[in-house]
């Protein structure tokens, strides 16, 4: 039997084989549960990460209009697509979007402030856009909005 701590890949293959064979009594239940829970958290983190990058670029777009360019526009477009795909593949995360948006916005303000030297206090305390606006392919915030 492969050890979870010393040969993770071998352990995963062994667990898959046991599941396929219906040998449930031989499964490493504790570690299997931990991995399943971790997979779920990973999908949520992925959604949060995509949204954070998207918000960073929307904030830059709004607060640094002179620096707008194709690169930012393509990053916004790509992150919108990636976020939507991740959400489509994980629809049970939809009820958590409000909380995910709050956390992602807070992180995006810190990141934008680090990257631009714009003080955090300049940005609104809560996200100024709806999720519909954030994901709208045609929406780009204007300065002073």
Structure confidence by residue, pLDDT tens digits, 65-76? 999 999 999 999
pLDDT, position 40: 78
Reported confidence tier of residue 37, pLDDT bands at 50, 70, 90: confident
CB 15 within 8 A of CB 37: no
pLDDT, position 145: 60
Tell me if the pTM is above 0.85.
no
Instruction: Centre a 10 Å sphere on the Cβ of residue 105 and count the other Cβ atoms it contains.
Output: 23
Does residue 23 surpass a pLDDT of 70? yes
52-64 tens-digit pLDDT: 999 999 999 999 9
Handedness of CA 83, 89, 90, 92 (dihedral sign): positive
96-106 tens-digit pLDDT: 999 999 999 99
Does residue 6 surpass a pLDDT of 80? yes
Rounded distance, CA 36 to CA 124, Å? Answer: 37
Instruction: Centre a 10 Å sphere on the Cβ of residue 74 and count the other Cβ atoms it contains.
Output: 11
Does residue 143 surpass a pLDDT of 70? no
Buried residues in 15-39 as b, exposed as e (16+ CB within 10 A): beebeeeeeeeeebeebbeeeeeee
CB 94 within 8 A of CB 87: yes
HEC string of 82-120? Answer: HHHHHHHHCHHHHHHHHHHHHHHHHHHHHHHHHHHCCCH
């Amino acid at each position: 039997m492969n050890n979870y701590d010393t040969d993770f890949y071998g352990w995963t293959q062994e667990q898959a084989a046991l599941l396929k064979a219906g040998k449930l009594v031989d499964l490493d239940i504790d570690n299997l549960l931990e991995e399943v829970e971790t997979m779920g958290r990973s999908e949520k983190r992925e959604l949060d990460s995509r949204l954070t990058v998207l918000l960073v670029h929307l904030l830059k777009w709004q607060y640094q209009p002179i620096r707008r360019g194709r690169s930012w526009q393509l990053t916004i477009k790509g992150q919108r697509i990636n976020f939507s795909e991740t959400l489509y593949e994980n629809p049970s995360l939809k009820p958590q979007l409000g909380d995910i948006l709050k956390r992602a916005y807070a992180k995006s303000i810190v990141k934008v402030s680090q990257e631009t030297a714009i003080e955090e206090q300049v940005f609104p305390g809560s996200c100024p856009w709806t999720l519909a606006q954030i994901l709208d392919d045609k929406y780009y915030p204007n300065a002073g909005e």
